[in-house]
Amino acid sequence: MANVVVWSKVGCHYCKDVKNYLTEQNIVFQDIDVTDHDYLREVLQAKYGIRHVPVVEIGDIEKGKYQAVTEIGIEYLEKALLQKEEVK
Protein backbone atom coordinates (compact mmCIF):
# COMPACT_ATOMS: atom_id res chain seq x y z
CA MET A 1 0.00 0.00 0.00
CA ALA A 2 1.16 3.50 -0.80
CA ASN A 3 2.08 5.96 1.89
CA VAL A 4 0.05 9.18 1.57
CA VAL A 5 1.05 12.50 3.14
CA VAL A 6 -1.13 15.61 2.94
CA TRP A 7 0.51 19.00 3.50
CA SER A 8 -2.29 21.37 4.55
CA LYS A 9 -3.24 24.42 6.58
CA VAL A 10 -6.17 25.53 8.69
CA GLY A 11 -8.82 27.38 6.68
CA CYS A 12 -7.85 25.85 3.33
CA HIS A 13 -11.07 24.65 1.73
CA TYR A 14 -9.35 22.47 -0.85
CA CYS A 15 -7.14 20.91 1.86
CA LYS A 16 -10.32 19.86 3.65
CA ASP A 17 -11.76 18.47 0.42
CA VAL A 18 -8.62 16.39 -0.17
CA LYS A 19 -8.67 14.96 3.36
CA ASN A 20 -12.41 14.23 3.13
CA TYR A 21 -11.90 12.45 -0.20
CA LEU A 22 -9.09 10.29 1.19
CA THR A 23 -11.17 9.44 4.26
CA GLU A 24 -14.17 8.50 2.07
CA GLN A 25 -11.91 6.25 0.00
CA ASN A 26 -10.58 4.59 3.19
CA ILE A 27 -7.06 5.77 2.41
CA VAL A 28 -4.95 6.29 5.49
CA PHE A 29 -2.86 9.46 5.35
CA GLN A 30 -0.55 11.56 7.47
CA ASP A 31 -1.43 15.26 7.74
CA ILE A 32 1.34 17.83 7.99
CA ASP A 33 -0.15 21.16 9.09
CA VAL A 34 1.91 24.10 7.83
CA THR A 35 -0.25 26.70 9.61
CA ASP A 36 2.10 29.07 11.45
CA HIS A 37 5.10 26.91 10.46
CA ASP A 38 6.91 28.74 7.68
CA TYR A 39 9.84 26.33 7.92
CA LEU A 40 7.52 23.60 6.60
CA ARG A 41 6.69 25.79 3.60
CA GLU A 42 10.45 26.06 3.05
CA VAL A 43 10.53 22.26 2.83
CA LEU A 44 7.86 22.37 0.11
CA GLN A 45 9.82 25.10 -1.67
CA ALA A 46 12.98 22.99 -1.61
CA LYS A 47 11.24 19.78 -2.70
CA TYR A 48 8.77 21.04 -5.29
CA GLY A 49 9.43 24.73 -5.90
CA ILE A 50 6.10 25.78 -4.38
CA ARG A 51 4.91 27.11 -1.04
CA HIS A 52 1.16 26.59 -1.43
CA VAL A 53 -0.94 23.77 -0.04
CA PRO A 54 -2.36 21.28 -0.38
CA VAL A 55 0.38 19.06 -1.61
CA VAL A 56 -0.29 15.33 -1.55
CA GLU A 57 2.68 13.00 -1.58
CA ILE A 58 2.05 9.43 -2.63
CA GLY A 59 4.93 7.05 -2.24
CA ASP A 60 6.54 3.81 -1.46
CA ILE A 61 8.23 3.88 1.94
CA GLU A 62 10.41 0.87 1.19
CA LYS A 63 11.75 2.33 -2.07
CA GLY A 64 11.81 5.91 -0.77
CA LYS A 65 10.12 7.20 -3.93
CA TYR A 66 7.32 9.74 -3.79
CA GLN A 67 5.13 11.48 -6.34
CA ALA A 68 3.69 14.87 -5.44
CA VAL A 69 0.27 16.08 -6.51
CA THR A 70 0.50 19.86 -6.52
CA GLU A 71 -2.35 20.66 -8.91
CA ILE A 72 -5.67 21.87 -7.53
CA GLY A 73 -8.53 19.48 -8.20
CA ILE A 74 -9.55 16.07 -6.87
CA GLU A 75 -9.23 14.68 -10.41
CA TYR A 76 -5.43 15.06 -10.21
CA LEU A 77 -5.33 13.19 -6.91
CA GLU A 78 -7.57 10.42 -8.30
CA LYS A 79 -5.32 10.04 -11.35
CA ALA A 80 -2.15 9.83 -9.23
CA LEU A 81 -3.70 7.25 -6.89
CA LEU A 82 -4.89 5.17 -9.85
CA GLN A 83 -1.43 5.27 -11.46
CA LYS A 84 0.15 4.18 -8.17
CA GLU A 85 -2.20 1.19 -7.99
CA GLU A 86 -1.40 0.21 -11.60
CA VAL A 87 2.33 0.09 -10.82
CA LYS A 88 1.86 -2.62 -8.18
The per-residue DSSP string of the chain comes to --EEEEEE-TT-HHHHHHHHHHHHTT---EEEE-TT-HHHHHHHHHHHS---S-EEEEEETTTTEEEEE-SSSHHHHHHHHHHHHHH-
Q: What is the mean pLDDT of the chain?
A: 90
pLDDT at 88 over 80: no
**Given the DSSP bridges, would you call strands 65-69 and 30-33 parallel, antiparallel or unpaired?**
unpaired
pTM exceeding 0.85? yes
pLDDT given for residue 24 in this prediction: 96
65-76: average pLDDT: 91
pLDDT bin (cut points 50, 70, 90) of residue 61 is: low
How confident is the model at residue 59, as a pLDDT? 87
64 dihedral zone (left: phi>0; alpha: psi -120 to 50; beta): left
